[in-house]
Structure 1
């Protein structure tokens, strides 16, 4: 059995103490021992913050500034109903200050009407307009008490415009009439009217007979001297008709009849006077129709314009103006085809005067421009060269159509190639056949884009349609449909507070068809909203 060994007994005999005392020797790697690797120093600014912090801070400040600067448009876009709410609040404030109406749109009436235009489905703004009407009646009463009769009349008119209760408005009007009569000196007004009547000054200023009689009757409706004096003055006025009609001054004669009607619609001499004017108007219309049939366009246009001056609602005269405008446009095209450009331009000016913003006039303008380009090119190209160029353009149009490139890319589309061929040879049968083949695709383009409410692209398709088939009646109907779509989309966007888009939509619709249904109503809403936005 081996003897027990203590822990401090050397395990290797006498060499154990030497091993423990000897220092540790690390392995060496030669020249690599001299290399020291250190982390790159981190750049720290004077505040001890990394650069990225300042970039983030700058971006945040720019964003905050942009949000502050455009806070109202952003709010209108994100919450469109807030614009109408703001208008209602502004209107309530104006009402509380007694600022009921103002031409600059800052009055309570205009602000409430703008709120109705933006959000017609809510009743708060309409109720506000009723409160404005009540306030107008109160203002009228205060003005009467202070002898401010013009202000009282203005307040009364506002109350009537806003449909204030009839019983209240009639009572206030009677009070105003009574106080004005007491204040005005009715007897002196009547004496002045009689004096003017005796000198033959019937209706040539505020101090002439008929206006003075009218002032007396406004204050005292039952005043016998004024009633009899007005009747006699109107009889004298209507006696001027015969010499005016004999001289052919139909417009002046018609104005006299309208003046008499304005003073007393029940005057005994009016029925006969109207019959004489109607007979003269019909004779003038027949003469204008004859002038138009015989190609005397200037005389026809002047005749129809005279009839419209007499009665702006004369439907037959308006139709005559339109027919004359079409005749001017057709004659401009014929003259341009004969390279008589000065005469064609004169006809275009007359057509524009007759039918502003007409698609027919725009078609004629394009025809004249094509003829002018063809005239410029004609001396530089022989008949054979022109035929070859037309054939090349038609072939390129076929290739573009085969790829489906009807309208794009610009300059290389089938439509552009066909248009170039039409400019060179508008009467060439091959060009006409190519245009006829392209027309269905362009019409499909119009329908597809309109269905998707892509109105700008729809308009491009419509322009191509009109170029390929200038006399296509369906194209004119398509103009009206596109105008109505602009109105529909504009109305929707106006309700969402997008006033700028609504203004653009109104402009586009008016340019396409100024007589389309709903345009006037849409224009009124846009105008009302625009006035409040100033």
Structure 2
């Protein structure tokens, strides 16, 4: 029995059904692949977002500094091509490359530029030597040595220059002048003294026996004078003599003993200064500390001791002002200013003096009626509360919590509300300092510290707070310099110095050096 062939309309229906099934499978496959693509795209986008958040500071610094560094390098290349190797105004190749290196210490182009500048300086020295320009050759050689060209190349030019100088007239005359100055005991202090003259002779002839012996005799006498001054406690005179002897011959046989004598004298003066400080003999302590600083400017103990003397004189000025002894208070303020106390502490003491003058005037005038005095006192206390709430503890002058409190004390010194206000202000100023310091608002923290010191000049914790603020100024200044804010960094270094930052500390030296490198191009 034969099977009937399907009708044409049934074939068409089957074909349409097969096409629908095929297309349905295709769309499912496409949808599956599309979902996979979107999942990977979302994962990549999330990863990029997290990387941008994590590295936003380095990326910002790179985008900020990169154009400026490239500009400095380009200026250095142009200056080098023009033969302007170094200039006092900062427009030399060396200064441009050093400025770029200050902004990015790992930039190889800056180091390569400095190396090429050193080689160019050496080449200039050779050309000047050929043209008989001995001074120009000397300048080029010095610049090349500063930029650390290979020692062998620099020595070759130096030897040729020395031969050319020695071959000129006047060598014997120069040696005679040096020996005559030694006989007259004119050892140092001018170009016509024995040691500088012997140094010139030895620059021309390093192994000249008479010059070497003459310099040895002059240095022996100079160091003897230094030891004598140190034994008498005159460290301000002994220290420069030792420094000069070290310049002329750092290996002199008498130098270690002389330096030991100077160190002992400095330690003695420091001990005497500390003893005088404890005995409250401020003038004596200041004299000892100033003598040590004159001999060794970066001595931290002497600097700290002198600042303590300055704080003591500020306290004495406040006491004298409270007794209405204004002329003596002004004298104490002048002494304190000479010790280098911070400008903020000095400003607070001057405000106290002005307030005391106003209080004297108020006492000299007839007392106001009781009702009016009560109204004025309420207004002053309201001003005090408002200024304290806004953080205006010491500034601006005339509109601060401290000014309102002093006016209230002059108006009603025995009033219990005035006493309560005085008790509130000191801890509030301390808390203000700590809060502002945590927020890195260094200027506001300084104002709070000034109020703290004015209210409690003998508080030992204020000195430690001053050092913390100085360190924070240095940190913020360094961070802002990295972003190109040179003016703020300079102000930060000055503020830290006024607060008593140790000039020899690594943070202080690093910020100071970076500022010098960057400002050299200005």
Q: How does 1:64-83 map to 2 (within 5 A)?
A: 81-83=66-68
Kept after mapping to 2: 8 A contact 1:119/1:495: no
**Is 2:382 the partner of 1:396?**
yes
Structure 1 residue 299, shift from structure 2 partner: 4.0
Structure 2 match to 1:496:
483
Structure 2 match to 1:161:
146
Secondary structure, in 3 states, of the residue corresponding to 2:521? Answer: helix
Larger radius of gyration: 1
Q: Determine which of 200, 210, 228 is the counterpart of 2:213.
A: 228
Q: Determine which of 405, 408, 422 is the counterpart of 1:421.
A: 408
Q: Determine which of 47, 71, 77 is the counterpart of 1:86.
A: 71
Q: Determine which of 490, 510, 532 is the counterpart of 2:521.
A: 532
**Is 2:408 the partner of 1:434?**
no
Secondary structure, in 3 states, of the residue corresponding to 1:532? Answer: coil
Map Cα deviations across residues 166-208 of structure 1 (whole Å, 9 max, x no partner): 4433444344334433346544433443344445444464344
> Structure 1 residues 468, 425: closer, same or farther in 2, change over 3 A?
farther
Structure 1 residue 89, shift from structure 2 partner: 1.2
How far, CA to CA, are the matches of 1:254 and 1:504 in structure 2?
Answer: 32
Kept after mapping to 2: 8 A contact 1:237/1:260: yes
Structure 1 residue 127, shift from structure 2 partner: 2.7
How far, CA to CA, are the matches of 1:479 and 1:125 in structure 2?
Answer: 38
How far, CA to CA, are the matches of 1:130 and 1:438 in structure 2?
Answer: 60
Structure 1 residue 490, shift from structure 2 partner: 3.8
How far, CA to CA, are the matches of 2:492 and 2:238 in structure 1?
Answer: 43
Secondary structure, in 3 states, of the residue corresponding to 2:167? Answer: helix
Structure 1 residue 429, shift from structure 2 partner: 6.7
Map Cα deviations across residues 104-159 of structure 1 (whole Å, 9 max, x no partner): 11111112222233444543323322222222222222223333233233223323
Gaps in structure 1 of 5+ consecutive residues:
1-75
**Is 2:195 the partner of 1:206?**
no
**Is 2:326 the partner of 1:337?**
no
Structure 1 match to 2:50:
none
Structure 2 match to 1:147:
132
Structure 1 match to 2:289:
304
TM-score when normalising by structure 2: 0.71
Structure 1 match to 2:17:
none
Kept after mapping to 2: 8 A contact 1:393/1:420: no
Secondary structure, in 3 states, of the residue corresponding to 2:518? Answer: helix
> Structure 1 residues 204, 340: closer, same or farther in 2, change over 3 A?
closer
Structure 2 match to 1:22:
none
Map Cα deviations across residues 310-336 of structure 1 (whole Å, 9 max, x no partner): 333444443442332233222212211
How far, CA to CA, are the matches of 2:287 and 2:279 in structure 1?
Answer: 15
Structure 1 residue 463, shift from structure 2 partner: 4.6
Structure 1 residue 338, shift from structure 2 partner: 1.2
Secondary structure, in 3 states, of the residue corresponding to 1:163? Answer: coil
Q: Determine which of 177, 182, 202 is the counterpart of 2:162.
A: 177
Kept after mapping to 1: 8 A contact 2:355/2:406: no
Q: Determine which of 306, 321, 325 is the counterpart of 2:306.
A: 321
Kept after mapping to 2: 8 A contact 1:393/1:421: no
> Structure 1 residues 169, 361: closer, same or farther in 2, change over 3 A?
same
How far, CA to CA, are the matches of 1:238 and 1:486 in structure 2?
Answer: 42
Structure 1 residue 342, shift from structure 2 partner: 0.5
Structure 2 match to 1:95:
80
Structure 1 match to 2:356:
371
TM-score when normalising by structure 1: 0.70
Gaps in structure 2 of 5+ consecutive residues:
1-60
Kept after mapping to 2: 8 A contact 1:357/1:514: no
How far, CA to CA, are the matches of 1:152 and 1:308 in structure 2?
Answer: 39
Kept after mapping to 1: 8 A contact 2:86/2:93: yes
Structure 2 match to 1:521:
510
**Is 2:200 the partner of 1:215?**
yes
How far, CA to CA, are the matches of 2:304 and 2:110 in structure 1?
Answer: 41
- The total of aligned residue pairs comes to 457
Q: Which has the higher helix share?
A: 2
Structure 2 match to 1:70:
none
How far, CA to CA, are the matches of 2:184 and 2:454 in structure 1?
Answer: 66
Structure 1 residue 91, shift from structure 2 partner: 1.3
Structure 2 match to 1:10:
none
Secondary structure, in 3 states, of the residue corresponding to 1:103? Answer: coil
> Structure 1 residues 101, 506: closer, same or farther in 2, change over 3 A?
same
Higher mean Cα deviation, 191-200 or 410-419? 410-419
Structure 1 residue 337, shift from structure 2 partner: 1.7
> Structure 1 residues 387, 165: closer, same or farther in 2, change over 3 A?
farther
Kept after mapping to 1: 8 A contact 2:377/2:411: no
**Is 2:125 the partner of 1:136?**
no
> Structure 1 residues 507, 475: closer, same or farther in 2, change over 3 A?
same
How far, CA to CA, are the matches of 1:91 and 1:471 in structure 2?
Answer: 54
How far, CA to CA, are the matches of 1:401 and 1:272 in structure 2?
Answer: 61
Q: How does 1:473-512 map to 2 (within 5 A)?
A: 473-512=460-499
Kept after mapping to 2: 8 A contact 1:445/1:458: yes
> Structure 1 residues 332, 401: closer, same or farther in 2, change over 3 A?
closer
Kept after mapping to 2: 8 A contact 1:238/1:260: yes
How far, CA to CA, are the matches of 1:139 and 1:95 in structure 2?
Answer: 12
